Chains A and B, each alone.
Chain A
């Protein structure tokens, strides 16, 4: 595809519900990243996938957060039992080979609002 695609662009949910956020990376990119950006804050790293390697989950804030990447392409970030503090923009990025130091290509994000 032309760029990193994220869906939905906006998601409103009730506290306690589960949500799934989707990321389609640029075709052929082997590395995929998830970040979270709360209002007025910087980007907070969540998780990193590189090819078939075990993902780096060191940024996930709690066990309510999980992510998977199927077939080395599309990724889904799942938040279980959402809380109001989960409200943020969730950004996905991909890079060609995943070497640290490659430039990242970001999607436009999913704005999550937990009521």
Chain B
């Protein structure tokens, strides 16, 4: 089964970088990695996606390993509003979101 593996939960101090890992060892060469987050009581929100190269936008950075079997989402300066569940998925697995990582940003 094409699946992703993420830690169940993580804590991060406010103002520090939050690094959220994801394993996607079954990803194929032309499939994109996507990250979403879900804040309580809302639908998931797109954050960032990438294929091979590292990507950065106004929300986060995405680091993809050379073999593409894993990636890390980086929130460079976490705020309390970044407390959410973070999901990674990939193109060929578009329909599977798993249980994600529950990130708690601590004041």
A-side interface residues toward B, CB under 8 Å?
4, 33, 35, 41-43, 45, 48, 59, 91, 93, 100-101, 103-109
Nearest-CB distance from A24 to chain B (Å)?
13
- Count of chain B residues with Cβ under 8 Å from any Cβ of A? 21
Nearest-CB distance from A29 to chain B (Å)?
14
- CB atoms of A105 and B94 under 8 A apart: no
Q: Which of B67-107 contact A (CB under 8 A)?
A: 87, 91-92, 94-100
Given pairs A43-B44, A45-B96, A109-B42, 17 additional interface contacts (CB within 8 A): A42-B97, A42-B98, A43-B97, A48-B95, A91-B43, A91-B44, A93-B44, A100-B91, A100-B92, A101-B31, A101-B49, A101-B94, A103-B34, A103-B46, A104-B36, A106-B45, A108-B42
Q: Give how many A-B residue pairs fall within 8 Å (CB-CB).
A: 46
- CB atoms of A43 and B31 under 8 A apart: no
Roughly how many angstroms separate A103 CA and B59 CA in the complex, as a whole number?
15
- CB atoms of A42 and B46 under 8 A apart: no
Q: Which residues of A contact B97 (CB under 8 A)?
A: 35, 42-43, 45
- CB atoms of A109 and B100 under 8 A apart: no
Contacting residue for A59 out of B43, B45, B46, B95, CB 8 A = B95
Roughly how many angstroms separate A93 CA and B36 CA in the complex, as a whole number?
13
